[in-house]
Amino acid sequence: MRFSLGFVLLLPLACLAEPIGEVDTVFKLIGPDHKIVVDAYDDPGVAGVTCYVSRAKTGGIKGAVGLAEDRSEASIDCRQTGPISFPKPLPRQEEMFSERISLIFKRLRVVRMVDSRRNTLVYMTYSDRLIEGSPQNSVTALPVDAKQRIPVK
């Protein structure tokens, strides 16, 4: 039982992604089609906030066996999906999600930032590589009711 519990605790954050839908963009005769996927990510540090990320997913034979490198473009939008609450104070900036989008070197990241002056949560998505990242990014902001200040570390 100890091994099972340890394994569950070490699962990557990728298991928090919930697939919402997908559309095919390029037909591939062999292997899955190229597509755009939309996933939902509940913010683990802020109850009541869900981020939706759309991104390209490479198909074909390389995509089917996990050797393809997905494109760097992604789009993000975060919304209040329930009552917002903060279980503990938030750091000013924190990576809330990271997922591998190529065999070894490339990752899609979602970072949460706190704009205390405007009482707003700012979310940004981008991709990076071991050596060099991409400047392509997307940002969204979610204002929090003025009656509820965002607690910051």
Q: Encode pLDDT of 92-133 as tens digits.
A: 999 988 876 665 567 788 999 999 999 999 999 987 765 566
Quote the pLDDT of residue 7. 33
In a domain, 95, yes or no: yes
Domain that holds residue 45: 11-143
CB 112 within 8 A of CB 90: yes
- pTM of this structure: 0.76
In a domain, 134, yes or no: yes
In a domain, 109, yes or no: yes
In a domain, 86, yes or no: yes
Q: What's the mean pLDDT in 44-66?
A: 78
Quote the pLDDT of residue 2. 45
In a domain, 34, yes or no: yes
* Whether pLDDT at 67 is above 90: no
Quote the pLDDT of residue 17. 83
Half-sphere exposure at residue 21, Cβ-oriented, CA atoms within 13 angstroms = 1
In a domain, 152, yes or no: no
In a domain, 41, yes or no: yes
How many separate domains does the chain show?
Answer: 1
In a domain, 39, yes or no: yes
